[in-house]
Structures are given as structure tokens and as C-alpha cells.
Structure 1
Amino acid sequence: MRFLHAADLHLDTPFVGISDFSKELQTKLKASTYESAQKLFRVALEQKVDFVILAGDIFDDTDSSLKAQMFLKSEFEKLNQANIKVFMVYGNHDYYRSNFSVIDFPDNVTIFGKEPTEKVLTAKDGQKVGIAGFSYYQQHISKNLVQEYPERDAVDYQIGILHAGVGDNNYAPFQISDLLKKGYDYWALGHIHKREVLNEKPMIVYPGDIQGRNQNETTPKGFYLVTVENTSTQIKFVQSSVYTWEKASLNATTDDTVDSLITKIQQLLNKPNTLLTLTIENAQNLNADVVKTIERNELKQHIQTLATPGILYKISRNYNSNPQLATIDQKYWDEAEQKAINLDDIKDLDSRLYSSDIIREHISQPDFLEHIVKLTKNAINQKYTGE
């Protein structure tokens, strides 16, 4: 038996922060989620899988476009002709509504409702497979619904589809131990955009999204081809992303000019279809005219006109500690950091902003506070450069 496990297609992702790219590149970026999804369904046909699992956030928004719906319908019909079934749930981005879709999908598609239920099918090799799941019916679900998944019955292989985060109170929170207790053979997870295997026996898997959507979603993206033979489960990652986000840094010296920076940056843009976020370290070494060229976006705009395999997305500058500041007792800096940068205080700054799904998700990232501290130190170092 073989199946594909994918999640977080996010069709119609707007790709913010690309307004200074060429119109052609903007169009290609916005089409990339569709191209990635096309590869997913093409691989399903080529590998002649039994079924495809889509674990939530198929659309980027609950108000999905007709274009996205018709695209999916067309791809699903191709799978239907090849006798390949689709089992999908809606997530927090595209949560289920009674009038959600304006078109009907073909009969090979099963969309789970708001209560955990199970569907049973017989694979081509004769294995009887149970597949359980539920769709979001609102943007946030604070209840752990794993306990409501059906108990394993008389099947050869049991799969659970779950769009959720470990211990994340806003998105059907669960613990790995909750999943292990169910006795399932495979948990097809969605929601977290980082590819990760949480457990191997049984398999508990996040495939990540199929196309990176911003500078923080680095590394190639894709989905898993899952093979089950003689009770053994093997997974193989298949890349689907058209563009890959990467991060790199270069060290600035006092001898650097705009020309030398252009040469250094060109050398970093050596991989096709990469979107590079660049950090210039030791920016205090740059003279004022070079800094102005960077601040005015002139350097980035010039790089974007060059025929490089990769694409420069963003330039940021990192100012190392000023020697004058380093003489201050470190203890007082540490105390100031603890008092001034507090996660609860940040959340309380504006309740309206924190109620935004995107902002709350960003603040909840494990490295958020570390990033804020880094930005603060960088701003202080930049202010006192040369004094």
C-alpha cells in the first residue's frame, strides 16, 4: 500500500513583501503554490498510490477563490480517473463552513466534518485501512479532540489525520502521548510548516507546507510518499517547492565599498530559484555613504537587475557591540533585558493586535523573544556607532 501525505498547500498565498520585485517574478511567486500542488498530484498519479491525505489549510483563506476551488476539482478528477481517493480536512486557515465551497468535488474525495469520524477502504494489496479525522469549524479550537477519535477497530492499518500543534491551546492542542494511546499506525499531521517526524513507531509526521511562504520558512518544502509493507512503514520526502527561501551572511570590513559588496552578494546568489535574506555582519565597519545606499534600497534594487541564479529578497545589517558599551557591567545589561523585554508585556501592548491570528502565531514562536533582544541590541549598537 502506498499513499501521499501532504498538508498546508495554502493555495492563493499572497506573498507579502515582494512589491519591489518585477511584475513577472511577483506573478511567478503567487503561482508557486499551484505549481507545487500540481507536482503533488502528478506524483500521486506516477506512483499509482492508493490515496492522498491532505491534512488541512488547503486554501490560504476560508474565503477561497473560485480559481483555487476549480483547480482542486480538476486535479481531483484526474485522480478519480486513476481510482485514487482523497481524504482531506480543513484547518484554521480554511475552516469549514456550510457554504464553504461553491463547487462540488468528485466522488473520490472525502472531506471530514467537524466531529472526528472514520472512513474505511481496502487498498490495492488487500489491506483494510481506517482513516479518521475532523475539519475545523472555526478559526480556533481550544479542545483536545484526540480522545474523541474512534478506537482502532478491525482494520489492518489505522491512520489519524490531525491539523494541530503540540500543546498549542489555540489549535486543537495535543501531546504525543495522546496520539500513542490511540494505537494508530500513522498520524498524518498538519499546521506546523516545519518538516518533522515526532515519533517513528508509530509514525507521527509533520510534512510541512509544500511551498515556503516567507523568509522564515527555509529549506526545500514538499510532502511524503508513504509505503506500508509487511506492517513496516517507510516514508520518503518529495520536494515540491518551486522557490526555496535561504538565509546567509557576509562580513563587512572597513575597506568595503558598494562595488565590493555587490561582488560578495553575487557570489552568494549561486543557487537557482532561491530567495535570499542577507545579513551584513559588523555593519559598523561600513562608511556612511555605503550605509545610505543600503538604507535607500539602492543596493538591493541594483542586485535584482543582475542576471544571478538566486534572488535577493532582503538586506539587513547587524551592528556588533560598541566597545564603550561593553565596558558597562554586564549584570546591569542583563537586568535591563529581563525587565524591559517580557513576553506578557508584549502581548498586553495592544489586545487588538494580539487578537490577530498571524501576529499571535508569530509571537508564540520559540525564538520570538530572542529575535526581539537581538533587534534591540542591534538598534542600540547602531545608534552609538562611531561615538
Structure 2
Amino acid sequence: MKFIHTADLHLDREFEGLVQEVTIQPYEILEKIIDFAISKQVELVIFAGDNFHQSKPSIKMQTYFIDQLARLLPYEIQVVVTFGNHDYYRKSIYWVDFPENVTVFTSETVESRKITLKNGESLMVTGFSYEQPHITEDKVSDYPARNFACDYHIGVFHGEMSGSQYAPASLTDMLSKDYDYWALGHIHLASQLSERVIYPGTPQGRTKKEITNFVVLGTLTKTTFETDFHDLADVHFETLMLDLSDCQNLSQALRFIRENLDATQQIFYSLIFENYDKIATALTEVVANDELIEELRQDHVIVKIKLARLNTDTDLPRLVVPDFQAPAVDFTAIFEMLPRQEVLQEILEDPDFHSDVLAQVALFESEQFVFDNSNDSKEEGNSDEN
């Protein structure tokens, strides 16, 4: 049996952080996945949740999703669909019917479905879908042991290996089921937890953090198992650190920057400049007033430009603050002061949001100040600068 495993398409989610207009539509990754499935002559395609970014996708996007799945029908390719925490399932919002080659899981109750593949082999698929934004209980414990009456048994799971909000699970518990494969979703970066337990990541990144854009092509026989990760994305985000220490003037800097930007691929760049001492005053000005970024955007997609802090003793004020540590951010207290809106609650409960805020605070601290704890830290054997 040959199959494709993908997850976290988030079809109705736009590229984030862009100011420029781009012609590529991120949802078009689905067409490439369908084309890939047909070209590889697979028997099965698995969509492991968060097919849509919204809990109420538009009729247009629903129709697009169904139309693409229907393209697999003439090739007798079976499809398995589950819904995740973003596109949690409610029958009342769907205007479309799924094609007959699609097996859809619509309940939070773990279910098993038998599928007969075009090569005559039998497959048992076990999974569930979200019916609400969060699931706090362990779902893997409800998965039955492998069904040996079928040629293969695959588990589809949208959730996390830790935490408390998204069906927290244990890898040990998954492996104990003795399934031929676990098709995971929810984590946007590719991760192979074991040989047969895989997060493929989102197939088309929407932000600079989503840098692994894969689908899994797997081949199962009674005695062997093989997987390959395939990058089908049209666009890739890249954070590029450029050392400008050899640039004596602005013309050299501009030429050097352009030489390091690839015009042959569709890349959305975030640029960080370091060691720009020789042109610091002028460079700081054109970065601050967006003159440089607008120039580079003539030929490239530039998400943003940042200046790394210069390693000098005079460019920043030095504050002697013994044992300085940034204060904790109380997200619960912040939420109490905001309107009671579900979307705000989801944002504030998102661990990625927490880490982003703390990272930005740390970045601001490092860019604006140098905290010198040398008096105390030398005694403790720690680094001078925190």
C-alpha cells in the first residue's frame, strides 16, 4: 500500500506578516498534493486535521476542498479526513457533500473504519475529529489494539504529545497499539517521533516559523515500511543573517545584500544585518524610514529588516543591575482586562503566542540595553552579560 499523509493545510489562512502583494495563493498547495498523489499512484491520502484555519470556512473554500478530493475518484484513490482544533466539525455549517471515495471522521468519539483499497488490500483506520476548539482528555487510550483481520491498521491523530489543551498523548501509548502507522497533525514543523509516528508539518508555511513544509509518502507491505518527506510548497520563508563587516560604504552594502537574495526561487525573506559598524548611521536611518526595504521589495518579497545590536561599548547605555531577570508576563491577568471574546482567549492560551511575546521582550531588551551584572556574576562563575 502506498499512501500520502498530510495535515494542517489551513486552506483559508493567508500568508502572515506580508505588506507586499503576491500572486501565489497559499491554498493552492492542495492542488499540488492531489497532483502528487495521482503521479505517485497511491492508494490512500490522509488529511490529519486542520484542513481549514477557520471553524466556519466559506462556501467557496468548502467547495474548493471537495472539488480537489473528487479529482482522486477516477483513480480509485481513497481519502481519509479528520477535523482538528481549528476546523472543529459541526455538520450545520457545511454546504457540501464529500465524494464517495472519502472516509470522514466527524465525532470526538474514537471510531474505526474499514477501507478496501484499489489493489484489493484491506485497511483499518482509527481516528476522531474535534467538535470544539479544545480537547483536554487523553484520546489515545480509546484507540483499540491493531486489528489483524485487516492487512494494515493506521491511526490518525490530531493533537500534542504534551500540554493539556489538544488531546494530550503519550508516544508510548501510541506504540503499544502496534499500528502500522500513526498519521499525526497539529504541530506545524515536521517531526518523526519514531519510525512509524510522524508529524509532517504544514505543507505550506504561512509564517517565518513554519520552515519545514512536507508531506509524507509512505509505502507499506506485510514485511516492510518506507517513508519519504516531500516538499511541495510554492513559497518558503527564510530568515537570513547578513554580515556587513566588509561593506565600506552604502553601495557595497546594497550590492552585497542583493547578491545574497535568490531571485530564482519564491522566498519570503526576513533580513537581519550584523557588524554594520562602518555604515551604522546611514543604515539605521534607511531601515527606520523603510527606504531600504522598499527598494529591496522591487525584486523580492521582504517581510521585514532588523538590525542586530552592534558589539561596541558606546552604542548602547550600560546599566548595572545585579541579578537582572525580565519579569514574568501574567497572561491570565491580561485576559481579565480584555473583552470576553473567544478569539482573544484562544490567542492568549496558545503557547506559541506566549513564546512569541517573551521572545519579543527579550529582543527589545537586547537591542535597547546592555545589562552588566559583572559584580555579582563573576563571583558565581556566570557570564558577564545577561
TM-score, scaled to structure 1: 0.86
* Pair 1:240–1:254, CA change in 2 (3 A): closer
Residue 313, structure 1, aligned to residue 303, structure 2: yes
Distance 1:264 1:380 in 2: 29
Residue of structure 2 in register with 1:264 after alignment: 256
Residue 249 in structure 1 maps to residue 237 in structure 2:
no
Inter-partner Cα distance in structure 2 for 1:380 and 1:354: 31
Query: For 2:80, what is the secondary structure of its paired residue?
Result: strand
User: CA shift at 1:125, angstroms?
Assistant: 4.2
* 1:226-270 Cα distance to aligned partner (Å, 9 max, x none): 101233111112221100111111124496544333212211212
Are the aligned partners of 1:253 and 1:286 in contact in 2 as well (CA < 8 Å)? no
Counterpart AA for 1:184: Y
Structure 1 unpaired stretches of 5+:
383-387
Partner of 1:297: 290
SS in 2 for 1:374: helix
Structure 1 Cα separation of the partners of residues 170 and 297 of structure 2? 45
Counterpart of 1:194? 189
Which SS does the other structure have where 1:41 is aligned? helix
2:85 paired residue number: 92
Percent identity over the alignment? 30
* Cα shift at 1:374: 3.4
Tell me which of 366, 370, 375 is aligned to 1:377. 366
Residue 205 (structure 1) aligned with residue 191 (structure 2): no
Quote the Cα distance in structure 2 between the aligned partners of 1:121 and 1:144: 26
Give the superposition deviation at 1:102.
0.9
Q: 1:43 to 1:347 in 2, by over 3 A?
A: same
- Amino acid paired to 2:179: Y
Q: Deviations over 1:317-376 (max 9, x none)?
A: 1114552679877xx55x212xx2335x355444449723377232355x8745642331
Distance 1:192 1:318, change over 3 A: same
Post-superposition shift, 1:98? 2.3
Residue matched to 2:26 = 32
| TM-align CA RMSD | 2.6
Cα distance in 1, alignment partners of residues 348 and 156 from structure 2: 23
Deviation, structure 1 residue 283: 5.2
Q: How does 1:216-295 map to 2 (within 5 A)?
A: 216-219=209-212, 221-253=213-245, 256-270=248-262, 271-282=264-275, 286-295=279-288
1:7 equivalent in structure 2: 7
CA contact (8 A) 1:56 1:88 kept: yes
Per-residue CA distance 1:68-100 (angstroms, 9 max, x = gap): 111122112211121111111011111111213
Contact 1:33 1:210 in 2 (8 A): no
Structure 2 matches for 1:325-364, cutoff 5 A? 332=321, 335-337=323-325, 340-342=326-328, 345=330, 348-351=333-336, 352=338, 355-357=345-347, 360-364=350-354
Shift of the 347–284 alpha-carbon distance from structure 1 to 2, 3 Å rule, reads: farther
For each residue in 1:264-318, what CA deviation from the matched residue of structure 2 results, as whole angstroms up to 9, or x when unmatched? 2211212510111111124565433331211111101011113xxx532210111
Q: Aligned pair 1:161/2:149, yes or no? A: no
Find the aligned partners of 2:246 and 2:279 in 1 and give their Cα distance.
6
Partner-residue secondary structure (3-state), 2:202: coil
Indicate the residue corresponding to 1:385 in structure 2.
none
Cα distance in 1 for partners of 2:352, 2:59 equals 29
Answer with 85-94 or 289-298: which moved more: 289-298
- Between the aligned partners of 1:232 and 1:368, the Cα distance in structure 2 is 45
Mapped contact 2:3–2:45 kept (Cα < 8 A): yes
Does the 8 A contact of 1:320 with 1:381 survive in 2? no
Show the counterpart of 2:38. 45
CA distance in 2, matches of 1:235, 1:209: 17
Tell me if the contact between 1:269 and 1:312 (Cα under 8 Å) persists in the aligned partners: no
Q: TM-score, normalized by length of structure 2?
A: 0.86
What is the match of residue 17 of structure 2? 17
2:142 to 130, 137, 148: 148
Partner of residue 128 from structure 2, selected from 119, 128, 134: 134
Q: Do 1:199 and 1:205's aligned partners in 2 also have CA atoms closer than 8 Å?
A: yes
Q: What's 2:376 paired with?
A: none
Tell me the residue number matched to 1:66: 59
Q: Classify the secondary structure of the residue corresponding to 2:131.
A: coil
Count of matched residue pairs = 362
Q: Indicate if the aligned counterparts of 1:254 and 1:287 stay in contact, CA closer than 8 A.
A: no
Residue 287 of structure 1 aligns to a residue whose secondary structure is helix
Which residue in 2 is equivalent to 1:120? 114
Q: What is the DSSP-based 3-state SS (H/G/I as helix, E as strand, rest coil) of the residue aligned with 1:210?
A: coil
* Bigger proportion of residues as helix: 1
TM-superposed deviation, 1:15: 2.0
